[in-house]
Amino acid sequence: RRVIFWFKRDLRIDDNRALFEACQNSFEVIPVFIFIPSILERFKSYDRRTGFLIESLKHLSKEIEKKGGRLYCFHDEPQRVFLTLIRKYGIQAIFTNRAFSWSGEEVEETVKKLCLNEGVDFVTFNDNFLAEIDKIPYRKIYSKFYRYWEQNLRLTEVSSPERINTPKLNEPEIDIVASEISHEKNIVWKPDFGIRRLKEFDFNRYEELRDRLDIDGTSKLSPYIRFGLISLRKIYRVASEAAGQDCQFIKELAWREFWYHIKLNFPQFKNLEFQEKRRKIRWQNDEKLYKAFIEAKTGYPLIDAAIIQLKQENWMHNRARMIVASFLTKDLMIDWRWGESFFMEHLIDYDEVVNVGNWQWNASVGPDPKPLRIFNPIIQAKKFDPDCKFIKKYLPSLKKLPSFMLHDPLTHRLPYHKPIVNHFERLILIKKLYS
């Protein structure tokens, strides 16, 4: 039989469950990727991320060609693409790895309906998680979720298909090599970096170094996980062989699945604070403060350096993400939704469920029992960037200043933007805001 395999967030042929099944069960497989205009339009500054996506697709296309197949890329709404393919080429099924994000589910739903109308099978697999998160009883606290998560892991990898037999189509597909989609080359992120990094990364030192802003101590695998360039099962295997099944790195992978678990059980989470008592916070939403924040002009070198990192690299260190999220919601008293959409604009690893979850958590409105988590930007700078290597990398104009000055812009007058708020004065207001 002839089937379509629909690539979404799983741009690999190795250990790709739905692709494996499609090839096992069919004579001909048409691998398809679709650029969805309504999604592309939502992201204003998507160009370098689209650049990464296009490079990843070229890489995938070569892998598919090595197996004798061909990747077809389209730029249209999926239901239109699939309707044409189904009717013109006698497609009997569409195979795909199931989407779990809000926007992914919405798109998938339209295709599912189309298949039903056309009498075509829509076959999905859960390949986006290490555990069967929908089988885990609802747990609102991460540590409780983790205990079940560990017991529900599905770690068996599947091999890449021996052969992909693709029929020739006569369709106005887009040429990803000459790419007609607006994009810029991404100079920081390359498709093959992930596999190399997985081999070279020292998982044993992760726990010790992961919070240091001045050290390359986290895996930087997030863009590869987001687009599925490497399978989670493979990452789990390599990390657990190096550092054990209960290592900190694997606990972080479980955090990602925890946010999806929350979303599955509380879908309103996208826009609504998880904690009911925090739904009536009167955010101050001062446009001027927000502008200073997104333009990296807060007067706190650490905060500004982190924002510059995000804009230059489309990625930000996790510790820095926590510090800036606390600063925006607590010190500036700006709605976490503003921060969430600012990150959406820039992050290469942007994942709406994970981003919303983390923003809610850092704004102390999410599923976490701890009442109020306020990061002091001065202490954080001293602790996690002791020699100001991080600050100086992104703010080279401050290179000559000593660390003690850069750490504490409230005590020391810097030849730099004046701090837009005084952290200590804001503390009293923050407690009122959250009361």
Question: Which parts of this chain interact with ligand FAD (CB under 6 A)?
Answer: 210, 218-222, 225-226, 252-253, 255-256, 259, 318, 321-322, 325, 343, 347, 349-351, 354-355, 358-359, 362
Tell me whether residue 89 or residue 148 sits nearer to ligand FAD (CB atom): 148
The CB-of-250 to ligand FAD minimum distance in angstroms stands at 9
Instruction: Compute and round to an integer the Cα radius of gyration of the chain.
Output: 23
CA distances from 47 to 169, 185, 208, 305, 316 (A): 29, 8, 35, 22, 18
The CB-of-220 to ligand FAD minimum distance in angstroms stands at 4
Tell me whether residue 197 or residue 382 sits nearer to ligand FAD (CB atom): 197
CA 297, 319, 406: angle at the middle one, nearest 5?
A: 45
Per DSSP, 330 falls in state I
Beta bridge partners of 4: 30, 94
Q: What are phi and psi of 187, to 5 degrees?
A: -85, -15
For residue 31, how far is the Cα from the chain centroid?
A: 24
CA 195, 197, 198: angle at the middle one, nearest 5?
A: 65
Tell me whether residue 108 or residue 351 sits nearer to ligand FAD (CB atom): 351
Beta bridge partners of 122: 94
Tell me whether residue 72 or residue 300 sits nearer to ligand FAD (CB atom): 300
Tell me whether residue 18 or residue 325 sits nearer to ligand FAD (CB atom): 325
Please report the beta strands in 84-170, taking only residues with DSSP state E, as ranges in sequence order. 93-97, 121-125
The CB-of-384 to ligand FAD minimum distance in angstroms stands at 13
Tell me whether residue 74 or residue 343 sits nearer to ligand FAD (CB atom): 343
CA 174, 177, 179: angle at the middle one, nearest 5?
A: 55
**Are the C-beta atoms of residues 267 and 316 closer than 8 Å to each other?**
no
The CB-of-235 to ligand FAD minimum distance in angstroms stands at 8
Tell me whether residue 3 or residue 325 sits nearer to ligand FAD (CB atom): 325
Sign of CA dihedral 98, 102, 107, 112: positive
The CB-of-330 to ligand FAD minimum distance in angstroms stands at 13
The CB-of-257 to ligand FAD minimum distance in angstroms stands at 8
The CB-of-364 to ligand FAD minimum distance in angstroms stands at 12
